[in-house]
Structure 1
Amino acid sequence: MSSPTYDVVLYGATGFTGSIAAQYLAEHPQQPKVAFAGRSEAKIRGLINQLTNVSAERVQSIGVMVANSDDHESLKRMASSAKAIINMVGPYAKYGGYDVAKAAAEAGIGYVDLTGESSVYKRIVRDLHSVAKSTKAIIVPSSGFDSLPFDLTTYLAIQELRKASGGKADVDYALCGYHVHGGVSGGTIASAVGEAKNSDLNFKDAYQLGPIRGTQQAQIVRSRFLPQFNRYGAYTLFTPHNTGIVNRSWGLLQEASDKCSYGASFKYVEGYVTSSYVFSLLVSSIMIFFGYLLGHYAWFGDWLSKKVPQGTGSSMEKQLKGFGNVRTIAVARNGTTKALSSFSVKGDPGYLRTAAFISETALTIALEQSRLSDLARGGGVLTPATIGGEVLAERLSRYSQVKIQSKDVTASTDLSQECI
């Protein structure tokens, strides 16, 4: 079999978030071999001509590929040319996300996407996990803000807790709090509307994406105290998918009796940081009502899609003013040993920085083969944490302006002052 031409092929490079990822990859200090792919060669070449802070030589090195999820042969050609594919074409249920993942799984290469659509993720797990294991393909959906920071901080906090506990996997729970400021794109709205048509948005199963089941019960908590922020946290529509991803990491590690496993009794909970207890109740109620409207009234989704059309989003000026701060506490079953991992970025975490998250996940697969986890070397549908969480965290810190800190906070009397 011939060697791949490219380290990474970016499929959907001309979309709203795809164009941000294109600029990121073109400017990357490692100068990976990249190609941009999509339906229109003219649009791709137009995007390449608009790249900034990139040498003429670098511009000329970027490949152009025509591919379409409706054309399986084009997906096979794309997969055969790369070590990893970044799929930015969403909504993934509507635009063949499964088909692109299938081409990657069959070719034995890496695949990453931004999906927060649990129905798509479930299908990829159900139909492609065994295929990917047979070909040693590393398939990592949900590698953007959905759900990399949540999954990775949980993993890193637990590894810190293991050190503090003498290497034992005896975790009771992980409590994640996140404080973010950013915009909403038409693509996100389209994904939410599409998911509401394909799946129940309610939080009913904590293990909907996992390989095995534990003891955690799905529960909507409208207000939860977050000691790492000294604030109250609200329930959001991120919670069901994030919980599914984190519990997939737990299940994969537990099933493999991996040295990094979390322990049989592990549970994951989260909250969106608000200004007060009352406001957390209000935010939670709005989120639940929003999900209800999407799930029960098609006109509401149609109205939203018209208000924020696909392909639109916040200006770069607004994105630069955004921020994201995710802090996860891991607590041992003894109730006293604790560790905290924080993940903070400047810039809109859902778009400007999510392009970096997904790009570094793909580059971890493509360029860090010798440093990946045992699970990654075996292939399958994995998670950001389980491909080699330390390696990915190192790359995010080095190249993506992400500040990641983890520490033992057992002796801390004020967790809100830790890892800031």
Structure 2
Amino acid sequence: MASQHKYDVVVFGATGYTGKKCAAHLSKHPGSPRWAIAGRSSSRLESLRKELSLSSDVGTIVADTFDAASVRSMVTQAKCLMNVVGPFRLLGGEAIATACVEAGTHYLDLSGETLFNASLIENLGEKAKQKGVILAPSVGLDSLPFDLATYLAVQQLKKTGAQVGRVDTAFVAKGSLSGGTILSACDMAEVDRDQLLDVRPDWLSPLKGAYEPIRFGAAMWMPQFRRYGIHTPFTPHNHRIVNLSHGLLEQSKSEEAYGPKFSYRDAFVVPGPRPLVFLIGYFLQFVLLCQVHLAPVRWALRKILPPNYGLSDEKLRYPHAFLDVRAVAYPAGASGSSTAGAAEARLYIPHDGGYVGAAEMMSEAALLIAEGTGLSKLAKQGGVLTGATIGAKGLVERLTRYADFKFDIGPYKDRDSKKTK
């Protein structure tokens, strides 16, 4: 990228709940990156500097999403911009990404908004390729852990010579949602409710009509946890991001391509017998549908929840919070629930995955891109990419070294051969 960039990364929205977590991670980073905090309030940025005891070499940039000149000034200073100002459609995320493309600056965010991602692909995808600029939305809890675990399980299965079939990615987690996350979901429901529903699995993928429908599952058996799982509000967007990874790799005829038989499911696993899990699944679906279809519910949520609300630092650490994601890749043609010949990839975060973990994922992805080594062939070409397609090996190495993530990849281990499902 252009040599005039003053910083490796700039955190835009650094004074928000997740932005502070990004700044905290970078402030302690042993790699000593060149970085800056950015936001629209100089007083809040100065307060953050004092709160984190930031050194004098950490920059401060005042920029407002709706002030084009300030945005241009900000993005030209960064090799890679981390946008943490959401909801992204509502708060001008595309204008930020557009400025990045024009300046030759890479862009990442934590979007869980399918429509916003689709707009980046449609309006900026080709321009980004022409400039060699990476646009990587959804590199936080939406949807990097699921996307990356799926990629790793698929690559492990391919080592055996088997053709890839279904991948089941299940997770357990402890933590909470911030006000900003819930408010983002409210915006999605009003703009295009399909974003939150089990429809359009090919929304983001270049391969249209290539995927099985996203089927609501109230109690799906997940052998990697020996429990039943349910769909969550993350499920539709996760499907679309994972399918985007599949489509990009297939379209580029990459050696890492998943193959034409690939399909994906994910679930949050819940303890208890199947009838109880079934009821929990339908109750959660009912709550989601109320948010999607009932404007008074969204109005109440906006009144109750401040956008920067979140858990205290103590509650973000183990045992109060953790994330455990396990993807099982089955050979094509595998019968029923048989795990014979399957491969598994586990991603474990020993603290909160939604905010601290998301900040670590985004920060390490940004530093990987800014450094320029360990990037995939697709990443070197630019365009709208996913966490799994920018350089999975390099990302795994960085998350292991700098964020205490744990990865375990290998043949599937039968934990429960005697279980009757």
The residue aligned with 1:176 is: 169
Quote the Cα distance in structure 1 between the aligned partners of 2:8 and 2:137. Answer: 18
The residue aligned with 1:262 is: 258
The residue aligned with 1:344 is: 348
The residue aligned with 2:328 is: 329
- The one-letter code of the counterpart of 2:98 is K
Say whether residues 1:390 and 2:393 are aligned partners: yes
Percent identity between the aligned chains? 38
8 Å CA contact 1:36–1:65 kept in 2: the answer is yes
Quote the Cα distance in structure 1 between the aligned partners of 2:414 and 2:297. Answer: 46
The residue aligned with 2:143 is: 147
Q: Alpha-carbon deviation of 1:300? A: 0.3
Structure 1, residues 12-60: CA drift from partner, whole Å, max 9, x if none? 00001111111111111101000111101121111011115xxxxx610
Quote the Cα distance in structure 2 between the aligned partners of 1:246 and 1:355. Answer: 20
8 Å CA contact 2:149–2:347 kept in 1: the answer is yes
- The one-letter code of the counterpart of 2:69 is E
The TM-score with structure 1 as length reference comes to 0.94
Quote the Cα distance in structure 2 between the aligned partners of 1:123 and 1:292. Answer: 24
The residue aligned with 1:278 is: 275
The residue aligned with 1:408 is: 411
Q: Greater shift after overlay, 106-115 or 226-235?
A: 106-115
The residue aligned with 2:93 is: 97
Q: How many equivalent pairs are there? A: 406
8 Å CA contact 2:202–2:211 kept in 1: the answer is no
- Secondary structure of 1:353's counterpart equals helix
Q: How does 1:17-416 map to 2 (within 5 A)?
A: 17-52=18-53, 59-165=55-161, 170-200=163-193, 201-213=196-208, 214-276=210-272, 277-320=274-317, 321-335=320-334, 336-367=340-371, 369-409=372-412, 412-414=413-415
Q: RMSD in angstroms over aligned alpha carbons?
A: 1.5
Quote the Cα distance in structure 1 between the aligned partners of 2:31 and 2:363. Answer: 12
Structure 1, residues 58-115: CA drift from partner, whole Å, max 9, x if none? 6100101111111122222111111100001011122111111111122222111111
The residue aligned with 1:12 is: 13
Contiguous gaps of at least 5 residues in structure 1: 53-57
Quote the Cα distance in structure 2 between the aligned partners of 1:234 and 1:222. Answer: 5
8 Å CA contact 2:201–2:211 kept in 1: the answer is no
- Secondary structure of 1:324's counterpart equals strand
- The one-letter code of the counterpart of 1:210 is S
Quote the Cα distance in structure 2 between the aligned partners of 1:279 and 1:188. Answer: 27
Structure 1, residues 377-420: CA drift from partner, whole Å, max 9, x if none? 000000000011111111101101100111022xx43279xxxx
Contiguous gaps of at least 5 residues in structure 2: 335-339
8 Å CA contact 1:20–1:355 kept in 2: the answer is yes
Call closer, same or farther: CA 1:372–1:60 in 2, change over 3 Å. Answer: same
8 Å CA contact 1:173–1:267 kept in 2: the answer is yes
- Secondary structure of 1:174's counterpart equals strand
- The one-letter code of the counterpart of 2:212 is Q
Quote the Cα distance in structure 2 between the aligned partners of 1:397 and 1:222. Answer: 33
Quote the Cα distance in structure 2 between the aligned partners of 1:394 and 1:302. Answer: 43
Structure 1, residues 99-155: CA drift from partner, whole Å, max 9, x if none? 111111222221111111111111111111111101111111001011000000000
Runs of 4+ in 1 over 6 A off after TM superposition: none
Call closer, same or farther: CA 1:63–1:415 in 2, change over 3 Å. Answer: farther
Quote the Cα distance in structure 2 between the aligned partners of 1:108 and 1:162. Answer: 36
Quote the Cα distance in structure 2 between the aligned partners of 1:124 and 1:7. Answer: 23
The residue aligned with 1:55 is: none
Quote the Cα distance in structure 1 between the aligned partners of 2:58 and 2:291. Answer: 40
Call closer, same or farther: CA 1:373–1:310 in 2, change over 3 Å. Answer: same
Quote the Cα distance in structure 2 between the aligned partners of 1:177 and 1:138. Answer: 29
